[in-house]
Structure 1
Amino acid sequence: MDEKGNLTVRRLALWGIPMSLGVMGLKMVAWWVTGSVALLSDGLESTVNVVAAFIAFFVIRYAQKPADHDHPFGHHKAEYLSAVTEGVLIVVAALLIVNEAIGHLADPRMLDAPVLGLAINFVAGVINAIWARLLITTGRKYRSAALTADGQHIMSDVITSVGVLIGLLLTLATGYAIFDPLLAILVALNILYQGWKVISHSIGGLMDQAVEPDEEEAIKQAIATHAAGSIGVHDLKTRRAGAVTFVDFHLVVPAAMSVRQAHDICDRLEDAIRSVHPGSSIAIHVEPEGEKAHGIRVKVIKEA
């Protein structure tokens, strides 16, 4: 990620703090005027957004620090820690919602000032939807795990808000107040699922999971078409740490090839890989022909 991308991600992370506070305020007002436990559950999830926004801001700043003596590969994985933390907070919010909803199952009540409360919650949902889409788009563009996770969580909040609105309209239409706490429990189950997705994806990054199959195929194609002069490529490994993709492989060259010629092939390969994965960190081990190939192999396309 270049400095422009870093700046864009930091700015969005910073703006996420007042945005989350504002949306949380609107949702809590909606709960206050209606007394709806479903709207309270929606508001409780937004409190998680506030905490997550603060965490994401500070973690993103740390993750963008350049590599140093103690962290020669950079600080990129800090973003995954932020995403895991956010996932845990989502799960905690869901459990709080279930606890609140169960207490109202035995004594449900109809809403106060339902039109005003639902209108306020609708406005909060629209703001969240626009903001979530911006975070997800930007996070994926600049490969920011923390920003993407924040956007995905907020988008799950939007889905929650839509479900709450539909359910409360059903409550008003039928006159059955029991729909309110039941809906809150359904909301909590959806939040638990979203939390699990955020946690599992982030743990994959912390465990050096390989890039997605389509991304690996693009790397293989770049190597295959720009490795002319070599004999073969094997032991291809990939992993992602935040915004950086790490690529490692062995390049087999003729035993009589000069260091300069082998170096030129490596330069060509690095440029090709970075054209499909900008900012990649690439390690190429050059070895003479005759070495036994192992790991993932890439068939080199010979020059005509």
Structure 2
Amino acid sequence: MWCMTPAESRLLTPQRLLMASIAVAVVTIALKTLAWVVTDSVGLLSDAMESLVNLASAVFGLVMVTIATRPADEEHPYGHHKAEYFSSGFEGILIIAAALGIIWAAGHRLFDPRPIEQVGWGLALSVLSSALNGLLAWVMFRAAKEHRSIALEADARHLVTDVWTSAGVVLGIALVHFSGWLWLDPVVAMAVAANILKEGFHLMWRSSQGLMDEAVEPEVMAAIQQTLAGFASGEGEAAIIRFDHLSTRKAGQRRFLDLHMHMPAYWSLGRAAAVRTSVEQALMSAVPGLRATIQLLPSDVEAHFDDEKDLI
């Protein structure tokens, strides 16, 4: 599997890729609209409508990603990273709206079927636009994983949905052309809409989970636990250090960790702080972008979070 180099990671930033997505969306809208005009296919119309959603989603995603990069301030002491989840949710809403519009248009055409004209040109234009979307989605998926950007991932998923949509439309038009069954065109459009609806609800769910402070990914948690185990299972004095009450959450590209570090009560504050600094640096090296908050406690002191007074 292809991995991004550091230079590619700096070049293929979420902002630049979303700008590229806007440009590709404009081109695909033109190609698919032209394909619909020359063929009068409701399937190709549904494909063009989804590309309009691509454009709106990419523009909104670019705005949200730009906001997410703003530094923390007095009103947002933890930063603006969650802005990306609004992008994902907004894209999901637009996808669902586009799917309902496609169903409405296809329903009318189902009871009033029309012949498809200039099939060759329509298919060629649709395939060309799909190739552009597929290539961009391939790059965006890898960049989304590298940058941990849900806005980028949402746009990539939408582009993949667009590719499958176009593939279904092309197949439907080919079947109509060779079979003469005009009702296949609106039926394919409705099938496309059903697939789009599924993707829209998936994006809205992902967005809601992020806004509700979802825990970090399993692989990130594994890296955190492995790093802490290196300190807790060390030799000599390090062996008496232990960690508990780990709590994680993710906000856009940022990851947060809260935990308690227990150590001997006779240690000086300076010594304890020095060890905590070493743990923080190790955690940030293991998980780039992690922000750890470590509370120091003596070994014989336990924190209880389930007392009634703590739940008020």
Q: TM-score range by the shorter chain?
A: over 0.9
Secondary structure in 2 matching 1:249: strand
1:288 aligns with 2:293: no
Higher mean alpha-carbon deviation, 240-249 vs 284-293, is at 284-293
Task: Report the Cα offset of residue 18 of structure 1.
Answer: 1.7
Change (3 A) 1:19 1:194: same
* 1:246 alignment counterpart: 256
Secondary structure, counterpart of 2:86 in structure 1: helix
* Alignment of 1:75 onto 2:85: no
Query: Is the deviation greater in 52-61 or in 166-175?
Result: 166-175
- Give SS of 1:65's match: coil
- TM-score, with normalisation over the residues of structure 2? 0.90
Q: Which moved more, 1:24-33 or 1:258-267?
A: 258-267
Q: CA deviation at 1:164?
A: 1.2
Return the TM-score normalized by structure 1. 0.92
Match in the other structure for 1:47: 52
Q: Secondary structure at the match of 1:75?
A: coil
Instruction: Give the aligned residue type for 1:82.
Output: S
Q: What percent identity do the matched residue pairs reach?
A: 39
User: Which digits, 9 at most, give the CA deviation of each residue in 1:12-46, with x for residues without a partner?
Assistant: 22222222111111111111110111111111011
Distance in 2, Cα, partners of 1:199 & 1:250? 34
Superposed displacement of residue 132, structure 1: 1.0
> Is 1:270 matched with 2:275?
no
Output the CA distance in 1 between the equivalents of 2:297 and 2:10: 37
The match for 1:256 among 256, 260, 266 is 266
- Distance, in Å, in 2 between the alignment partners of 1:274 and 1:25 is 46
SS at match of 2:13: helix
Which structure 1 residue ranges, 5 or more long, are not aligned? 296-304
Write out per-residue CA displacement over residues 39-65 of structure 1, whole angstroms, 9 at most, x where no aligned residue: 111110110011111111111111101
**1:294 to 1:175, Cα distance in 2 relative to 1, 3 A:** farther
Q: Following superposition of structure 1 onto structure 2, how do residues 165-184 of structure 1 map, counting pairs within 5 Å?
A: 165-184=170-189
**Aligned counterpart in structure 1 of residue 24 of structure 2, from 19, 22, 31:** 19
User: Are 1:197 and 2:207 counterparts?
Assistant: no
Residue 231 of structure 2 contacts residue 241 of structure 2 at CA under 8 Å; is this kept in 1? no
The structure-2 alpha-carbon separation of the partners of 1:258 and 1:241, relative to structure 1 and needing over 3 Å to count, comes to same
**Structure 2: gaps spanning 5 or more residues:** 1-5, 306-312
Q: C-alpha deviations, 1:195-233, integer Å up to 9, x for none?
A: 111111111111000012222122111111134424321
After superposition, where does 1:75-114 map in structure 2 within 5 Å? 75-114=80-119
Query: Residues 48-67 of structure 1: matches in 2 within 5 Å?
Result: 48-67=53-72
* Deviation at residue 155 of structure 1 after TM alignment: 1.0
* Structure 1 runs, 4 residues or longer, greater than 6 Å off: none
